[in-house]
Copies of this chain bind each other. A is one copy, B any other.
Amino acid sequence: MKKLINDTADVVTEALRGVELAHPQLRVDHQNKIVFRGDAPVRGKVGLISGGGSGHEPLHGGFVGPGMLDAACAGEVFTSPVPDQMLAATQGVDGGAGVLHIVKNYTGDVMNFEMAAELAAAEGVEVEAVVTDDDVAVQDSLYTAGRRGVGVTVLLEKIVGAAADEGRDLKAVAEVARKVDANGRSMGMALTSCTVPAAGKPTFDLPDDQMEIGIGIHGEPGRRRVPLAPAREVAEMLVEPILKDLDFTGGDGVLAFVNGMGATPLLELYLMYGEVAAILRKAGVRVVRSLVGPYITSLDMAGCSVTLLKMDDELVHLWDAPVNTPGLRWGA
């Protein structure tokens, strides 16, 4: 295993030390592994927290700051944080207007956030939770864990952050969040496996001539394993199931997001974006905003994902609003 780390047990703790030193505008609670905006809690504003296993950076800690999250809880690598952390974050960002929990749909994350919400309620903090579940690679059914939360989470944190900044109340902010989740779909693929530091070896074996279509952000195997193919065919394999799942034509257009899994260089991501855009144009889908880069990653996995989000005037307005975080920044 080749990684820039010390002891595998200290990876998250030590990375958080670097985050704190590199971003004086953030505050890190090392004991609880929480990244706060320096001025949290913001009086009268709905607090937004998220969190999840580490290894997906910049998600979530890199999205803490004005216009986005108020705090993010870092779990061990690929392991949901625990309720204690979420409770501490909830209390730390509660400015009197309640707190929204943004939860990616994984059994562990959902259960831990549920326990935290129960604890927070007992402490008198008003909490709403919204669960992202945008991954079309996974069959959606009442009888399974449901779809995974992936790329839409990034867009949701930005958009909902802007809504909270505008002073909307908890119910309204949660409503925006649910609207984003309902209108977004994603699909990912991997060229190589990631390696979890504590495991010391690749999570899965992927032969040199194969790729995994429908991968999750924890190296969970995907829909199917297929021979390597040119980027334009990979783009088809990702976009087609998304368009099948939701009608993205008409309306006010879409936000198209090509995300890198961690080890895929920007050169390839832009090339992929060109392919995705070409397919969308042919399919009659109008792109009004875009995002290209590694925003929700899977350690050192090579690969990418595509997320489409149906936009309307409100979402465009919220997307364009100023944001000032280490991972996404504009207008501020």
Of A18, A263, A272, which is in contact with the most chain B CB atoms at under 10 Å from its CB? Answer: A18
Q: Which of A220-273 contact B (CB under 8 A)?
A: 228, 230-232, 234, 262-273
Determine if A199 is an interface residue (Cβ-Cβ < 8 Å). no
Q: Which of B2, B14, B262 contacts A192 (CB 8 A)?
A: B2
A326 and B267 alpha carbons, distance in the complex (Å): 13
Closest to A327 in B: B266
Contact with B along A278-302 (1 / 0, CB 8 A): 0000000001001010100101101
Q: Are A22 and B54 in contact (CB under 8 A)?
A: no
Contact with B along A297-332 (1 / 0, CB 8 A): 101101110000000000000000000101001111
A82 CB, nearest partner CB in chain B, Å: 19
Q: Which of A61-91 contact B (CB under 8 A)?
A: 62, 77
Closest to A208 in B: B2
A149 CB, nearest partner CB in chain B, Å: 19
Among A3-11, A93-101, A160-168, the stretch that binds chain B is: A3-11
Closest to A287 in B: B21
A192 and B262 alpha carbons, distance in the complex (Å): 15
Contact with B along A40-53 (1 / 0, CB 8 A): 00000000000000
Q: Are A4 and B266 in contact (CB under 8 A)?
A: no
| Main DSSP-derived SS at the A contact region | mixed
Using A4-B191, A265-B263, A330-B332 as known contacts, say yes or no to A270 and B211 having CB atoms under 8 A apart.
no
User: Please, how many residues of chain A have a CB less than 8 angstroms from a CB on the other chain?
Assistant: 63
Q: How many copies does the complex hold?
A: 2
A65 CB, nearest partner CB in chain B, Å: 11
Which residues from B are CB-within-8-Å of A329?
329-330
Determine if A146 is an interface residue (Cβ-Cβ < 8 Å). no
Using A62-B266, A332-B331 as known contacts, say yes or no to A300 and B302 having CB atoms under 8 A apart.
yes
Q: Measuring CB to CB, which residues of chain A are less than 8 angstroms from any residue of chain B?
A: 2-7, 11-12, 14-19, 21-23, 54-55, 57-58, 62, 77, 191-192, 208, 211, 228, 230-232, 234, 262-275, 277, 287, 290, 292, 294, 297, 299-300, 302-304, 324, 326, 329-332
Known: A14-B231, A262-B263. 18 other contacts (CB 8 A): A2-B192, A2-B208, A2-B211, A5-B231, A15-B267, A16-B270, A17-B271, A18-B272, A18-B277, A22-B292, A57-B266, A264-B300, A265-B300, A266-B294, A267-B299, A294-B294, A300-B302, A330-B332
